[in-house]
Structure 1
Amino acid sequence: MNYLSAENLTKSYGDRILFKNLTFGVNRGDKVAIVGANGSGKTTLLSILAGAMPPDSGIVSQRKDISVGYLDQQPELNNALTVMEVVLAGESAQLDAVRAYEHALVNDDPAALERAMADMEKLEAWDYESQIRQILGELGIQDVTQPVHLLSGGQRKRVALARVLIQNPDLLILDEPTNHLDLEAIEYLENHLNTNNGTLLMVSHDRYFLDRVCNQIAEMDEGQLYTYKGNYAYFLEKKDEREAAAASELTKDRNTFRRELEWMRRQPKARGTKAQYRIDAFDELKDKVGGKRSDGELDLNLRMTRLGSKILEVENLSKRFGDKVLLDHFNYTFKRPDRVGLIGKNGMGKTTLMNMLTGLLRPDSGKITTGGTVKFGYYTQTELDLPENQRVIDVVQDVAEVMKLANGDTITATQLLTRFLFNRQKQYDFVSKLSGGEKRRLQLLLVLVQNPNFLILDEPTNDLDITTLNVLEEFLLNFSGCVLIVTHDRYFMDRLVEHVFVLEGEGKVRDYPGNYTDYRIWRDSQPKTGTSQNDKPVASPAKNQSTPVVVSSATSPAAGAKKKLSFKEIREYETLEKEIESLEQRKAEVVGLLNTGGHHEQLTAWAREIEEIDKSIAEKSDRWLELADYI
Structure 2
Amino acid sequence: MAHLLGAENVHLEFPTRVVFDSVTIGIDEGDRIGVVGRNGDGKSTLLALLAQRLEPDAGRVTHRRGVTIGYLDQRDILPEGMTVGQVVVGDLAEHEWAGDPKIRDVIGGLVSDIPWDETVDELSGGQRRRVALARLLVGDWDVLFLDEPTNHLDVEGIQWLAEHINRRWSSNQGGMVVVTHDRWFLDAVSTDTWEVHDGVVEPFEGGYAAYILQRVERDRQAASSEQRRQNLARKELAWLRRGAPARTSKPKFRIDAANALIDDVPPIRDTVALSQMATARLGKDVVDLIDAGVSFDGTMIIEDVEWRIAPGERTGILGPNGAGKSTLLNLVSGKLQPTSGRVKTGKTVQIAVLDQQLADLQQFAEDRVREVVARKKTSYVADGKEMTPSQLLERLGFTSEQLSTPVKDLSGGQKRRLQLMLILLDEPNVLILDEPTNDLDTDMLAAMEDLLDTWPGTLLVVSHDRYLLERVTDQQYAVLGGHLRHLPGGVDEYMRLRAAGTGGGTASAAAAASAGRPDTAGSGAVATASGPRPAGGPSAAPGLSGAERRVVEKEMSALDRRITKLGEDRKKRLEAFASHDQTDYEGLGRLQAELSALEAEVEQLEERWLEVAEQLGV
TM range (shorter): 0.5 to 0.7
SS in 2 for 1:491: helix
SS in 2 for 1:451: coil
Note the C-alpha offset of 1:58: 4.3
Residues in 2 aligned to 1:50 and 1:210: alpha-carbon distance in whole angstroms: 20
Residues in 2 aligned to 1:222 and 1:490: alpha-carbon distance in whole angstroms: 29
Choose from 184, 190, 198 the match for 1:222: 198
Amino acid across the alignment from 1:516: V
Residues in 2 aligned to 1:349 and 1:57: alpha-carbon distance in whole angstroms: 53
Per the alignment, do residues 56 and 80 of structure 1 end up closer, same or farther by CA in structure 2, a change over 3 Å counting? Answer: farther
Amino acid across the alignment from 2:405: D
Residues in 2 aligned to 1:196 and 1:323: alpha-carbon distance in whole angstroms: 45
Choose from 116, 122, 137 the match for 1:144: 116
Per the alignment, do residues 200 and 235 of structure 1 end up closer, same or farther by CA in structure 2, a change over 3 Å counting? Answer: same
Amino acid across the alignment from 1:470: A
Note the C-alpha offset of 1:335: 1.3
Residue ranges of structure 2 left out of the alignment (5+ in a row): 236-267, 506-533, 538-618
Amino acid across the alignment from 1:65: G
* Aligned 8 A contact 2:7 2:60 in 1: yes
The residue that corresponds to 2:612 in the other structure is none
SS in 1 for 2:70: strand
Residues in 2 aligned to 1:195 and 1:443: alpha-carbon distance in whole angstroms: 40
The residue that corresponds to 1:465 in the other structure is 441
SS in 1 for 2:391: helix
Question: Do structure 1's residue 313 and structure 2's residue 288 form an aligned pair?
Answer: yes
* Aligned 8 A contact 1:38 1:438 in 2: no
SS in 2 for 1:181: coil
Per the alignment, do residues 339 and 410 of structure 1 end up closer, same or farther by CA in structure 2, a change over 3 Å counting? Answer: closer
Amino acid across the alignment from 2:37: G
Residues 520-535 of structure 1 mapped to structure 2, 5 A cutoff: 520=495
Note the C-alpha offset of 1:422: 0.7
Note the C-alpha offset of 1:322: 5.7
The residue that corresponds to 2:33 in the other structure is 32
Note the alpha carbon deviations across 1:321-341, whole angstroms, 9 max, x for none: 567542123221211222222
Residues in 2 aligned to 1:538 and 1:481: alpha-carbon distance in whole angstroms: 35
Note the C-alpha offset of 1:62: 3.3
Residues in 2 aligned to 1:359 and 1:353: alpha-carbon distance in whole angstroms: 10
Residues in 1 aligned to 2:75 and 2:324: alpha-carbon distance in whole angstroms: 24
Choose from 147, 162, 186 the match for 2:134: 162
Residues in 1 aligned to 2:500 and 2:116: alpha-carbon distance in whole angstroms: 33
Note the C-alpha offset of 1:483: 1.4
Per the alignment, do residues 330 and 216 of structure 1 end up closer, same or farther by CA in structure 2, a change over 3 Å counting? Answer: same
Question: Do structure 1's residue 97 and structure 2's residue 92 form an aligned pair?
Answer: yes
Question: Do structure 1's residue 126 and structure 2's residue 126 form an aligned pair?
Answer: no
Residues in 1 aligned to 2:88 and 2:211: alpha-carbon distance in whole angstroms: 35
Q: TM-score, normalised by structure 1?
A: 0.64
Per the alignment, do residues 399 and 22 of structure 1 end up closer, same or farther by CA in structure 2, a change over 3 Å counting? Answer: farther
Residues 61-210 of structure 1 mapped to structure 2, 5 A cutoff: 61-88=62-89, 95-98=90-93, 101=94, 120=96, 125-128=97-100, 131-132=102-103, 134-139=105-110, 141-142=112-113, 143-197=115-169, 198-210=174-186
SS in 1 for 2:141: coil
CA RMSD of the aligned region, Å?
A: 3.7
Residues in 2 aligned to 1:446 and 1:52: alpha-carbon distance in whole angstroms: 40
SS in 1 for 2:471: helix
The residue that corresponds to 1:23 in the other structure is 24
Amino acid across the alignment from 1:80: G
Question: Do structure 1's residue 490 and structure 2's residue 462 form an aligned pair?
Answer: no
The residue that corresponds to 1:42 in the other structure is 43
Amino acid across the alignment from 2:110: L
Residues 229-308 of structure 1 mapped to structure 2, 5 A cutoff: 229-245=205-221, 247=222, 250=223, 306-308=281-283
Note the C-alpha offset of 1:420: 1.7
* Aligned 8 A contact 1:141 1:159 in 2: no
Residues in 2 aligned to 1:293 and 1:236: alpha-carbon distance in whole angstroms: 14
* Aligned 8 A contact 2:396 2:447 in 1: no
SS in 2 for 1:209: helix
* Aligned 8 A contact 1:393 1:413 in 2: no
Note the alpha carbon deviations across 1:35-87, whole angstroms, 9 max, x for none: 11233222232233334445455433334512222112232234533322332
SS in 2 for 1:405: strand
* Aligned 8 A contact 1:83 1:145 in 2: yes
- Larger C-alpha radius of gyration, 1 or 2? 1
Note the C-alpha offset of 1:126: 3.5
Note the C-alpha offset of 1:508: 2.3
Question: Do structure 1's residue 479 and structure 2's residue 455 form an aligned pair?
Answer: yes
SS in 1 for 2:99: helix
The residue that corresponds to 2:415 in the other structure is 439
Residue ranges of structure 1 left out of the alignment (5+ in a row): 89-94, 102-116, 252-291, 531-536, 541-631
* Aligned 8 A contact 1:34 1:220 in 2: yes
Amino acid across the alignment from 1:405: V
Q: TM-score, normalised by structure 2?
A: 0.65
Note the C-alpha offset of 1:192: 0.5
Identical amino acids, percent of aligned pairs: 37
Per the alignment, do residues 13 and 431 of structure 1 end up closer, same or farther by CA in structure 2, a change over 3 Å counting? Answer: farther
Note the C-alpha offset of 1:206: 2.5
The residue that corresponds to 1:402 in the other structure is 378
Q: How many residues align?
A: 459
